[in-house]
Amino acid sequence: MRKTSLLSMPPGVTRRTMLKTGAGLAALGAASAFPAPFVRAAKTFKIGFVSPKTGPLAVFAESDDFTMAQVMKAIGSGITVDGAQIPVEIVYRDSQSSSNRAAEAASELILDEGVDLVVAASTPATTNPVADQCEVNGVPCITNDTPWQPHFFGRGGDPATGFEWTYHFFWGLEDIIGSFTSLWSNLETNKVVGSLWPNDSDGNAWGDPKIGFPPVLAEQGYTLVDLGRFQSPADDFTSYLIDFKAKGVEIVTGVAPPPDFANFWAQAGQQGFKPKIATVAKASEFPAAIEAIGDRAEGLSVEVWWSPVHPFSSSLTGQSSAELAAAYTAATGRVWSMPLAFKHSLFEVALDAMKRSAGPGEPEALRDAIAATNLASIVGPVNFQTGPVPNISKTPLVTGQWQRPAAGKPLELVIVDNAMAKDIPVQAELKPLP
Partner 1 sequence: MIDWINTLIQGLLTGGLYALFAVGLSLAFGVMRLVNIAHGDLIILAAYLALVAVEATGMPALAALLVVVPAMALFGYGLQRGLLVHTVGKGLLSPLLVTFGLSIILQNLMLEIFSADSRGVQAGLLETLSLEVVDGITVGVLPLLILASAVVVVGGLQLLFSHTGLGRSFKATSDDPETASLMGIDPKRVYALAMGLAMAIVAIAGVYTAIRTSFDPLNGPSRLLFAFEAVIIGGLGSLWGTLAGGLILGLSQAIGFRLDPGWGILASHLTFLAVLVVRPNGLFPRTRDR
Nearest distance from residue 56's CB to partner 1, in Å? 5
Whichever of 302 and 349 has its CB closer to partner 1, that residue is 302
Q: Which residue blocks in 138-191 are alpha helix, DSSP H?
A: 148-152, 173-184
Whichever of 141 and 297 has its CB closer to partner 1, that residue is 297
CB-based contacts of 211: which residues, under 8 Å, 6+ apart?
149, 173, 205
Nearest distance from residue 225's CB to partner 1, in Å? 12
Distance CA 136, CA 132 (A): 6
Burial of 409 (0-12, 13-18, 19+ CB in 10 A): exposed
Let me know how long the chain is.
434
**Facing residues of 141 across strands?**
118, 166
Nearest distance from residue 289's CB to partner 1, in Å? 4
Whichever of 55 and 78 has its CB closer to partner 1, that residue is 55
Nearest distance from residue 376's CB to partner 1, in Å? 31
- Binding residues vs partner 1 (CB under 8 A): 54-56, 58-59, 61-62, 199, 227-231, 233-236, 238-240, 242, 246, 258-259, 262-263, 266-267, 269-272, 286, 288-289, 291-296, 334
Whichever of 251 and 256 has its CB closer to partner 1, that residue is 256
Whichever of 200 and 362 has its CB closer to partner 1, that residue is 200
Whichever of 16 and 409 has its CB closer to partner 1, that residue is 409
Here the contacts of 293-300 (C-beta below 8 Å, separation 24 or greater) are 293/261, 293/262, 293/265, 296/265, 296/266, 296/269, 297/265, 297/402, 297/411, 298/402, 298/403, 298/404, 298/411, 298/434, 299/401, 299/402, 299/403, 299/431, 299/432, 299/433, 299/434, 300/401, 300/402, 300/433
Nearest distance from residue 57's CB to partner 1, in Å? 8
Nearest distance from residue 143's CB to partner 1, in Å? 20
Whichever of 198 and 396 has its CB closer to partner 1, that residue is 198
Nearest distance from residue 274's CB to partner 1, in Å? 11
Burial of 4 (0-12, 13-18, 19+ CB in 10 A): exposed
> How far is CA 261 from each of CA 94, 289, 300, rounded to the nearest angstrom?
27, 10, 11
